[in-house]
Structure formats: C-alpha cells, structure tokens
Chain A
C-alpha cells in the first residue's frame, strides 16, 4: 500500500517538475522574443544618438563604428545655432499649444451636443460628420490649399492652426466617453441647479479627463510631427515648423549635408516627444486602444 502511495507522490512530483520546466521555457522564449523586438525598435534611436556624437569623417567611414571614437558634444551646440532651433521650437510650440487648446474647446462642446442635447437632425448630422472620416486626409490638402491661398493666409500662424481645428475623430472619441456617463448624473445636476454648461464643466469634463489628456497628447504630437501641410503653406523663416527646419538647415554650400549635426538636431527635437511618451504613456495607450488603430 505504502509503495503505491509513494509512487503516486513521485508521479505528482514529476508532473509538477515537468510543468515548472515548461513554464520556465515559455517565459524564456517570451522574454527572448520581447527583447529581440525591443532591440529592433530601439536600434534606430541608438544609431541616431551615436551618429550625432561622431565627427563627420568618422560618420563617412566605409565600415561604420558602433561607438564614436571621439565624442563630439559640440555637434549639439552647432545644431542649435545653424538650424536656429530656438525659432523652430517657438513656432512649433505656438501652433501646437494654440491649436490644441482651441481644438479641445471645439471637441468638448460638440461632443456634448452630440452626446447629451436633443435637437432635430442630430443623428443625421453626426452620421455625416463620421462619413467625412472616410475621405483620406491627402484629398483635403488640395482643397485646403486652394482655400487658404484665396484667403491670403499663406505664411501665417493661422494657416497652420485653423484648417485642422475640428477633428471628427476626437469628437467621436469624446462623445462615446460622454455617453457612458449615466443619465442620472445629468438629472441630478439639474436638480442641484446647474446649467448645461456648468454640468459639462463640473461633471463631464472631470469624468472624461483621461480621454481629454489622450486627445491633448495626440493633438500635440500631431502638430509636432506635421510635415506636408506646413511645407506647402508656411515655409518662410518666421513660421517654419520644426520638421521642415530639420530638412533644410544642414545642407552646406558645397551641397554636402553635415549628418552628425543633423542627427544631433533630430535627437534634440525627438527629446520632448520621448519624454511625453515616457511620462504619459498610460494615456497614450488608453487613447490608442480606445480608438482602435489610429495613433
């Protein structure tokens, strides 16, 4: 009898040992895969940073080095002055902040209207707005270009801000969020003597804060990264945005491009976005996952 029991125990031990090995193996491969993927993603950033610290001569070696022989921090100072990064940052910040603020106001008010107010044709109107999302953004570029040239808005801040203030996508995102807030809260606020606007400000906005932060981040990143539209309509010294600035500034008179200095400038420009991502990734992830695929 006792023999069979010990046999059983042994079996159990063996089974659990096998399971443990299995678990460890699965963990090992999962992490190996994740590390590999992380390396693939991070490598370009690594390459950007080491390139930005090389001399031009080292950069041009046929066999590239994986770590700079001589570290050139001066590239960063040079990048800042040659590209007049200060002015580029300033332009981008103005466009980014102003358009984000205005966009938030418009988004909040229209999302409230579509989520909470009752008026004739509300659903039809919302359907039409959603339908505009089907049209690819590039098509708007042409009509927008025609419009702003007619208005004489070329090379101004407003041409960079106004055409993209209304985002159907953000309105949709926020409306869905607003609609999840129980109707009783609205009725309770009515009983407590609030106006619609006060209810929106005191109850709905605080409750939708995560979505609003996601929208803010996405909108700021959008302004920071925008390239085609600013290139078309505002490419003068006074209004040039950061992405276009980086493109042109480093071509020397000989036609050569000083790549290490350009890389240094790119690193500087990426830094804010990088920080935003590190500190606010929770909200970015939430925004992206809520929106499905768009990032």
Chain B
C-alpha cells in the first residue's frame, strides 16, 4: 500500500492566547511512500516527525493537506477505521491483559465482514507471536517481560490484524545498546517478511540509515531531503542534513571560493569550477582526509586515538566551527604522526560547499 502525503500541514494553536504564537509542527509536507518499503523519518526532537506519524495514523487531524492510502483519501477517516498498526515509544501494552490477550485485542474489535471465529483469532495471534518469537510468553503479563520482549509484543499486536501501513514511533529508544542493534535487524526482517509499508520515526541517524530503504530528514516541520540513506549521506542538500548524518559528525570550516580555488584561511585546498567567488562554509567528512607530507591543509595536532581498524586524529584549525577537527584514517598505512602540525590532502567527493547565509549546498564541481 503506497502512502501519499499531500501538502500536509499541522498547526498547533498557542496555549496562551495573549502572548504565544501558534506552532507550525509540520509545514507543507509532500511525500510519496512507495509500497512495501521501510521509511525512516529522521530529525532532531521537535522537528515534527512524530506529528507526521500521528497524522498518518489519524490520531491527529492535519490542519490542511491530504493523506492517501493507495488511491483512498483517508484524511477524514478516524484511526479505528484506517487499518494501521502503530507501535508506541513506550509500547502502550494493556497492563492487565496477558501477552495473548494483548495480541488478540485488535482482532476482537474487527467488525462486519472482517469478523473472525475464535479459532482463526487464536491462529492469527499465534502466527504474529511466532513472527516476533514470543510464542513461549503468551501467558505472561507485560510487567513480567523485559523491555525487548514488551517491544516484540507491541509489534505483534500492531501486525496481527495485517495493517495496511505499519507505523513505529521511536521503537528502539527504550532498549539498551545491544538489544537496539538486535531489534533493528529484527524489525528489518519482519518488515521484509510481511512486505507491509512501514514508517518509523527516530532521532538516531545511525538507526535510520542502517535499516531504511529511504530516509526523510526533517527540521522544524520542514522537509529537508528524501533519498536512499547512502545517497543522502554522500550528497546532502544543505548544511543541516550534512551535520545531522554521520558519526563522528562532519567537520565544518569557514572558507571562501576565489578564482576557482577553495580557501581555508590562506590555504588553497581544492580547485572548484562552476561557482562564483564568495564566502562559504565547507563540510568535510571525517573519512575525507588523507595524510600527506605536502598536504595543503595545516592543522595543530591535539591527539591521536587508535581504534584498531582505523586511527582517529583530533586537531585544531582556526577556521573550524567545531571545537576540533576529527579525521579518520585507515590504519593499514602505517602513518606516523608526529610534531605539532598535521598536514592533510582532501578527497574532493567528501567535501561539500554551502552558502554562508542560506546554508544551502553550492552545486559545483570540486577537484
């Protein structure tokens, strides 16, 4: 089932009628989610990603705009009739029901032609439980389960009625680091097995990049960029997206374009064509540095961190907007770093230029 969001806007009225301004949580959002894909809605907290999810679910009404499931306009349809599954951040399991009763609950509410016999319900519940591997826990109460198990129950409950769309609201944020890794692969597996169009919300870019077919980056209610995770990472549309994706984060330096060259301070680090002379912000991915005796970029060495597979070099540069510049160098080259100054060459495809005022990407060829 493809999901289409058309000019979706949500404005929350201000609480304080005299002073406060209204809050635009989602601003003119246009997006088509292809059938059967896993989409990661990504952004810092307060960017409107949960609001978008809630509007798809019908729990919040859009101020304007339309939502389509396939060709059906569901904008006015209430949540209970939309046929969606939703997993909440805190799972929202019914505490007084057993795991089985929790999973059965959506089936018991089916009406009319969809109504199932008791046996069918039991079977569907069992199959859903099996899919998330909790069939052994059917008689437990939620309070007797670990966080990861509760999360699986919540997914089983969302899947059991075969929803048209599955929505996940920060599904991994309450799990510990190891379980998070495991569960996100699990979510990916379940989504592939069922082929249900899935949207999940997260503020963790690593999580979104690792399992999504496509990621949607949002900021303050405005869509920033949509694309495959690798494409967005390799080709960010603006400084915000570039800064938001990647660990360790991108290094941001001040510089300028002058006479076909990119300058950081007084040092011409790269050549550029197709851009006017101007002040720019330069983003360099940590893996975009190469140690070179004759490198154009001089930095003051602070520290070298050995991480086994690679080496991380921390250094200072007066033009840097971050507190320090962090580069990651493959540990295969036994490069010795010594002295006060470290010199780099830059890999052109890991360097992005942004307009200083608008922070939009300057599209030009960097060499």
- A residues contacting B by CB (< 8 A) are 182, 184-185, 187-195, 198, 202-203, 206-207
Q: Apart from A187-B59, A187-B86, A191-B85, list 12 A-B contacts with CB within 8 A.
A: A184-B92, A185-B94, A187-B79, A188-B88, A190-B59, A190-B78, A190-B79, A191-B84, A191-B158, A192-B161, A193-B111, A203-B96
List residues of chain A with CB within 8 A of the CB of B80. 190-195
Chain A nearest CB, measured from B175 CB (Å): 17
Question: Does B57 have its Cβ within 8 Å of any Cβ on chain A?
Answer: yes
Query: Pick the contact of A193 from B89, B90, B96, B106 — CB < 8 Å?
Result: B106
Question: Does B157 have its Cβ within 8 Å of any Cβ on chain A?
Answer: yes
Which residues between 82 and 118 of chain B lie within 8 Å of chain A, taking CB atoms? 84-86, 88-90, 92-96, 105-106, 109-111
Chain B nearest CB, measured from A239 CB (Å): 40
Q: Is the interface of B mostly helix, strand, loop or mixed?
A: loop
A184 to B95, CA, bound (A): 12
A206 touches B92 (CB 8 A): no
List residues of chain A with CB within 8 A of the CB of B94. 185, 188, 203
A221 to B364, CA, bound (A): 84
A195 to B363, CA, bound (A): 53
A194 to B80, CA, bound (A): 6
Chain B nearest CB, measured from A6 CB (Å): 51
Which partner residue on chain A sits nearest B110 by CB separation? A193
Centre residue among B88, B92, B110 by max chain A CB count within 10 A: B92
A226 to B115, CA, bound (A): 49
List residues of chain B with CB within 8 A of the CB of A202. 105
B109 touches A194 (CB 8 A): yes
A261 to B95, CA, bound (A): 52
List 13 A-B pairs, Cβ < 8 Å: A184-B90, A187-B88, A188-B86, A191-B57, A191-B84, A191-B86, A192-B80, A192-B109, A193-B80, A193-B106, A194-B80, A194-B109, A203-B94
Query: Pick the contact of B96 from A182, A198, A207 — CB < 8 Å?
Result: A207
A193 touches B86 (CB 8 A): no
Chain A nearest CB, measured from B121 CB (Å): 13
A206 to B58, CA, bound (A): 26
Query: Pick the contact of A191 from B79, B93, B95 — CB < 8 Å?
Result: B79
A187 touches B92 (CB 8 A): yes
Which partner residue on chain B sits nearest A184 by CB separation? B92
Which partner residue on chain B sits nearest A194 by CB separation? B109
B92 touches A188 (CB 8 A): yes
Which residues between 51 and 81 of chain B lie within 8 Å of chain A, taking CB atoms? 57-59, 78-81
List residues of chain B with CB within 8 A of the CB of A190. 58-59, 78-80
A193 to B105, CA, bound (A): 9
Centre residue among A187, A189, A192, A207 by max chain B CB count within 10 A: A192
Chain B nearest CB, measured from A146 CB (Å): 44
A207 touches B95 (CB 8 A): yes
List residues of chain B with CB within 8 A of the CB of A195. 80
B84 touches A192 (CB 8 A): no
Centre residue among B80, B84, B96, B157 by max chain A CB count within 10 A: B80
List residues of chain A with CB within 8 A of the CB of B89. 184
Which partner residue on chain A sits nearest B60 by CB separation? A187
A202 to B95, CA, bound (A): 12
Centre residue among A182, A193, A194 by max chain B CB count within 10 A: A193
List residues of chain A with CB within 8 A of the CB of B110. 193
Which partner residue on chain B sits nearest A185 by CB separation? B92
B88 touches A184 (CB 8 A): yes
A198 touches B109 (CB 8 A): yes
A195 to B80, CA, bound (A): 8
Chain A nearest CB, measured from B128 CB (Å): 13
A187 to B60, CA, bound (A): 10
A192 touches B96 (CB 8 A): no
Chain B nearest CB, measured from A205 CB (Å): 10
A187 to B154, CA, bound (A): 13
A70 to B92, CA, bound (A): 66
A207 to B143, CA, bound (A): 14
List residues of chain A with CB within 8 A of the CB of B158. 191
A182 touches B59 (CB 8 A): no
- The 3 closest A-B CB pairs, nearest first, are A184-B92, A193-B109, A188-B92
A207 to B92, CA, bound (A): 13
Which partner residue on chain B sits nearest A198 by CB separation? B109
List residues of chain B with CB within 8 A of the CB of A194. 80, 109
Chain B nearest CB, measured from A50 CB (Å): 47
List residues of chain A with CB within 8 A of the CB of B79. 187, 190-191
List residues of chain A with CB within 8 A of the CB of B90. 182, 184
Chain B nearest CB, measured from A136 CB (Å): 38
A189 to B161, CA, bound (A): 13
A192 touches B105 (CB 8 A): yes
Which partner residue on chain B sits nearest A206 by CB separation? B96
A192 touches B106 (CB 8 A): yes
List residues of chain B with CB within 8 A of the CB of A193. 80-81, 106, 109-111, 161
List residues of chain B with CB within 8 A of the CB of A182. 90, 92
List residues of chain B with CB within 8 A of the CB of A198. 109
Which partner residue on chain B sits nearest A191 by CB separation? B86
Query: Pick the contact of B157 from A187, A192, A207 — CB < 8 Å?
Result: A192
Which residues between 131 and 161 of chain B lie within 8 Å of chain A, taking CB atoms? 157-158, 161
